Amino acid sequence: MDKIVMKGGAELHGEVVVSGAKNAALPILASALLADGTSTFRNVPDLADVATMLKVLRTMGCDAERLTARKKDVCEVGVNGAITPEAPYDLVKTMRASVLVLGPLVARFGRARVSMPGGCAIGARPIDQHLKGLKALGADIHLTEGYVEARAKQLKGGTVNFDVITVTGTENVLMAAVLAKGRTVMENCAREPEIEELARVLNKMGARIEGAGTSIITVEGVEGLTPVDHAILPDRIEAGTLLVAAAISGGNVLVKHAVPEHLDAVIDKLREAGCTLTAEAGGLRCKAPRTLHSVNITTTEHPGFPTDMQAQLMALMCVSHGTSVISENIFENRFMHVPELHRLGADITVQGHTAVVKGVKTLSGAPVMATDLRASASLILAGLRAEGRTDVSRVYHLDRGYERLERKLRALGADIKRVTAKA
């Protein structure tokens, strides 16, 4: 099992390129199911979660693969022969986003059998809103033996009002509505850039979607869709993580391909803390003094401060001057990184969904353990600043959402490497 070994203290300098967005690639790969033929996706990040989605699609009978031979960031998904519309528990339990095949399958093939995702380290994460939306389009839904069984001869347009704002829920229902008969109006939708990107791809396939990126999305159903060739947008959470790496090291880094409009809330907080953020040369530069001020963070849905950046900002607040109050409002159990940051000497008190972080002068390196994807990023960021050696184990969490992060940080001057621990 791999671990990351690092020594803190280096200031990061230089340029780094952001990979394609994980949370756009996953629904977009699933959307290929909606059309006969082969779709080509470019700028697809080389991540464990992407590999799992390709496996889910292959299990159903698609030719889904990464074109390693020719271009490493290109994936092709061929939907040519008979498709078995089923996503098995063994795969769904490893990546809950596999549930994103549900909408496309029931819309395109009239039935789907998809394992319920089950719980997750950061929260219960039910899919009741996904099912509510599909029922509103006329799908017949049953839960048997841990599977969602969905059936519909033909989905019909309707009104979907989400009780809670859900990213993959909006995406799943959107992918179903494009082939439903008539018009669908989706209300209280998530507004993340990844949803706008999915709608962009679906419209390129021949769908008729308006309002993606706002809380009301309107879809005119169409008879059929055609395959697409599309380059996935840059990953705003990876970009945000790299900006925080520059900030925590007191460095000066240009994060290439970062899209400032997708990171407004993160940019605001880094500026409030004392960093200089400038859009330049198709990216975003972060220049930071050695010591920053503490700021308060409240996670909300986009365009508010993203929950996927909470852990990374907490690491920064651990070494900033003052006290920071961090409120996590999206997931009920997303402070698993706190006890590990304590091991590095951080001063954090958690009460319910609020953490109070008192900035300390120095952190000291120690062995720590990743518990989930963004928690692993926060431990690496803290390790960049901690005196001495930090070992981060269970980095399979990191590999789910970051493409060779340690190499990117090393290229910016960090003393960091991956070692494969002997079993």
Q: Which residues bind ligand EPZ (CB under 6 A)?
A: 22-23, 26, 97, 123-130, 164, 166-169, 190, 307-308, 330-331, 373-374, 401
- For 350, which DSSP code? E
Cβ at position 182, least distance to ligand EPZ in Å? 24
Distance CA 220, CA 185 (A): 9
CA 240 to each of CA 41, 260, 306, 417: distance values in angstroms, whole numbers, following the listed order: 24, 10, 10, 21
Nearest partner of 340 among 292, 390, 384, judged by Cα = 390
Q: Taking the CB of residue 96, how many other CB atoms lie within 10 A of it?
A: 18
Catalytic annotation, pick one of 62, 75, 120, 286: 120
23 versus 393: smaller Cβ distance to ligand EPZ: 23
Beta strands 283-287 and 276-280, pairing class: antiparallel
Cβ at position 164, least distance to ligand EPZ in Å? 4
DSSP string over 62-105: -EEEE-TTT-TT-EEEEE-S----EE-HHHHTT-GGGGGGHHHH
125 versus 287: smaller Cβ distance to ligand EPZ: 125
CB 198 within 8 A of CB 41: no
Distance CA 230, CA 204 (A): 9
186 versus 254: smaller Cβ distance to ligand EPZ: 186
Residue 135, Ramachandran bin (φ over 0: left; ψ between -120 and 50: alpha; else beta) = alpha
The enclosing H or E element of 174 equals helix 167-177
147 versus 331: smaller Cβ distance to ligand EPZ: 331
Nearest partner of 73 among 287, 313, 235, judged by Cα = 235
Active site residue 318: no
130 versus 269: smaller Cβ distance to ligand EPZ: 130
Helix (H, G, I), strand (E, B) or coil at 250: coil
39 versus 129: smaller Cβ distance to ligand EPZ: 129
Helix (H, G, I), strand (E, B) or coil at 148: strand
Residues acting as catalytic residues: 120
